[in-house]
Structure 1
């Protein structure tokens, strides 16, 4: 709703995938004169039980359910399989005369889904996503993927470059890594030494447990305690 604020109360239609679509969101958008059209996951509790049951469903069959101004279309592209579309854009569902007998909700969604499914398809090709059970980490991975995708679109549009997204992402990662290492090196050089006679926390912590020291390693410039030094008094155990 925060992202849609500039477009509310203008009679527009927003297309969503099953991650966002819900009956409550559709009603909130409809109250702001904005329609919603999108696929909805069958595990949602607002989905009626007959729409969830796909066993024995005929191929290319359509079932329609209504709740106020919202219309739920359950279309079976294959036998024993159904795709659910929630819409507040349509007043009624009509079936095409083709072989697949697609309803107009499915046809309209396919024509407007390019900004949803194609983006997900491109991001899935080159992603930083890794297995995790923490949803904030998953959201962060998705933010990185979308930022890199948008950066490539802006780069090719502004420079008229034909560089592939794979080469662009590789160059972007190298540039970010180089900048991070430069900032890290500058931070080490600008780090003030401890005052004479005072100690600071050991930054190596291999053989100690939060011991303290006032001396630095000659190689990595980390503060190291007496237990974590080796090869003389100026080199830590890591180096």
Structure 2
């Protein structure tokens, strides 16, 4: 994935800027580290990350502001030369190859538990995008919609697809909701799992399909759905009352939370419905649904808390930000599962960014030291007045020797007991 981003970014930069433009893999990893640091330590604007008041020391040591903006300007995820052909069949072509690699990694490297939650995620964005969505009930009205399957216990993102509009390959008789669930649950079928959905996805036909693949479903039903029998609508429900309708495929629970609110829950995992001994007398299907419905919502809340999202005019960059957020969350889950340690997400994200930037920062220091050694090897011309390089106030003082640590020319005021050791290095060592 990093090589794909590197190749596409270099290709775009050389077409628009200079033929010598280059970005190595360690530098790209350092760029992603800066993006993660920026998400953890929120500042008013991008330039404030390098300011004296709000600046992050790690960011300033890793990459300059001009270089970060230069990479961001040329950041691309596909080849522009072949994009026109691919867009004809794939609206997501500008980043589809990279996203498919990320999705496959999410599926491959984690085994989810019994309960998986499926829901939609609206990633906030107001860029010019052909499949931008408007959902009035969401906190951010505009964004790019993703279908997400999430493990209930760990909030690991098991599978995720973007919504780009009508799918040409989907049969007309098949509902979009059924197609989405079967596509998300494809790698996890035939293993005795339970999927929890909301009233957009739940249906009798979907329950039949999942049941044939050894998977059960638990979800709410919209009251206008044809799956609800007329007798269930005609019954006058009193407060905290329950009615059960059973079929060979699923069990429908009609629960009246109040005189004006009735909830319909369909389950293919409950053959017997029990009612709890309390004032509200909730049935077991309602209790089970309440405890398993929040997987994707909790995941989205965790991602937003330390999101790397920033203003951009290109929708592939917004998708890339969402990918980094999801990858960082999954990495935290995998780290805790593999090591058995419990670590706060901000601490983990800071260490993750440090490890990503470590290779580039080390090579940068080595390059600087080699440059200083090369500079130190250059003999001082006899009779030429050299300026001190240690302090700004000593720029006019004559200097004839170099420090043994930093190889900077040192004047008499900046030296210590040893004439070739400058005052700054003497304080450090």
For the residues of structure 2 that align with 1:80 and 1:140, how far apart are their CA atoms? 44
In the TM superposition, what is the alpha-carbon distance from 1:51 to its structure 2 partner? Answer: 10
Q: Which has the higher contact order (CA 8 A, sep 6+)?
A: 2
Which of 169, 179, 183 does residue 349 from structure 2 map onto?
Answer: 169
TM-aligned CA distance change 1:36 to 1:118, over 3 Å: closer
Q: CA deviation at 1:100?
A: 1.9
For residues 133-155 of structure 1, what are the alpha-carbon distances to aligned partners after superposition, in whole Å with 9 as ceiling and x for unaligned? xxx99988766554332211122
Return the alpha-carbon distance in structure 1 between the equivalents of residues 342 and 231 of structure 2.
Answer: 46
Q: Which residue of 2 aligns with 1:61?
A: 241
Rounded Cα–Cα distance in structure 1 between residues aligned with 2:226 and 2:320: 29
Task: Please list the CA deviations of residues 57-81 of structure 1 after superposition, one character each: whole Å capped at 9, or x if unmatched.
Answer: 5432223345652222232345533
Equivalent residue pairs, number: 172
Give the root-mean-square deviation of aligned CA atoms.
4.6
Among 195, 217, 220, the alignment partner of 1:36 is 217
Q: Secondary structure at the match of 2:338?
A: helix
Q: CA contact under 8 A between 1:123 and 1:149: conserved in structure 2?
A: no
1:156 aligns with 2:320: no
Alignment match of 1:99 (pick from 275, 279, 290): 279
**1:14 match:** 194
How far is the alpha carbon of 1:89 from its aligned partner?
Answer: 1.8
Distance verdict in 2 for CA 1:25–1:44, change over 3 Å: farther
5+ residue gaps, structure 2, are 1-181, 310-315, 362-429
Asked if the contact 1:71/1:90 (under 8 Å) is kept, the reply is yes
Secondary structure at the aligned position of 1:28 is classed as: helix
**Does the residue aligned with 1:40 lie in a helix, a strand or coil?**
strand
Residues 75 and 140 of structure 1: is their aligned pair in 2 closer, same or farther, counting only changes over 3 Å? farther
Tell me if the contact between 1:94 and 1:104 (Cα under 8 Å) persists in the aligned partners: yes
Paired with 1:144 and 1:19, the residues of 2 have a C-alpha distance of: 30
Structure with a larger share of its residues in helix: 2
1:124 aligns with 2:301: yes
Gaps of 5+ in 1: 131-135, 183-239
